[in-house]
Copies of this chain bind each other. A is one copy, B any other.
């Protein structure tokens, strides 16, 4: 999914494939669970099952990190936990800021999974003056005016944007100008960032739309026909080329059903 730009071929120590990197946290989670149950070793087969991938893929993935297993035996759980944590950079502490403390921002602030993985919520920031000082997740919300100060004083390199779509680009630019080089974007917008900045996005409604696509397929052709028949005639889709609002009225009726705001994200700005 939309990782920002450039993963500079320069400092690329040992090129671990992006697809592999994306699975390391999965393995780590499964390994942590095993570690808690004091399981000493796992086979690629067992671990793969726990992580929800197949064993060949897992072994290939691990082979990029080095040869951390023992033939005929399997992998040492604790050792692997350490190696993957180190590879992911989780042996150091990452202070993060969350900008936009609406519903979603608050949920993120309360998310236990961050703290448990080497991430520390250094500050909560919101543009609403009324929010300032209010405690969320045991931490006072700070005003956007102090964003730059907060970033630099805490040495923050990772920022989370949970603002409405309209504010995201501006917030992103300020974060970047202040020193942030990695952004997790929950706002439903494309963030434009300079080279050297990584962006990952999470869009809740996009995931649902992908599910809807497959769901529609499952329903078979009957359902598709029904849906098509609901609006216009099955064989007569909206006239193309007929630009402007005229054609749109009929065509987009069902499709562009939407609130007055178009693209409101999961936060309440005020």
Contact = CB atoms under 8 A, between A and B. Distances in A.
Given A118-B257, A200-B207, A107 B103 contact: yes
A129 B173 CA distance: 44
Contacts of A203: 25, 113
Contacts of A243: 40-41, 76-78
Contacts of A102: 107
A35 B252 contact: yes
A202 interface: yes
A114 B181 contact: no
Contacts of A226: 92
A55 interface: no
A77 to B, nearest CB: 8
A116 B266 contact: no
A262 B64 CA distance: 27
B25 A209 contact: yes
A79 B251 contact: yes
Interface residues of A, number: 125
Interface in A203-254: 203-218, 220-221, 223, 226-228, 230-231, 237-245, 247-248, 251-252, 254
A209 B247 contact: no
A188 B78 contact: no
A122 interface: no
Contacts of A146: none
B7 A217 contact: yes
Given A83-B237, A158-B212, A264 B112 contact: yes
A130 interface: no
A158 B211 contact: yes
Contacts of A107: 102-104, 106-107, 266-267
A241 to B, nearest CB: 6
A117 interface: yes
Interface of A: 1-3, 7-8, 11-13, 21-22, 24-26, 28-30, 32-33, 35-36, 38, 40-41, 50-52, 68, 70, 76-79, 81-83, 85-92, 94, 96, 102-104, 106-108, 110-119, 157-158, 160, 181-184, 188, 190, 196, 198, 200, 202-218, 220-221, 223, 226-228, 230-231, 237-245, 247-248, 251-252, 254-259, 261-268
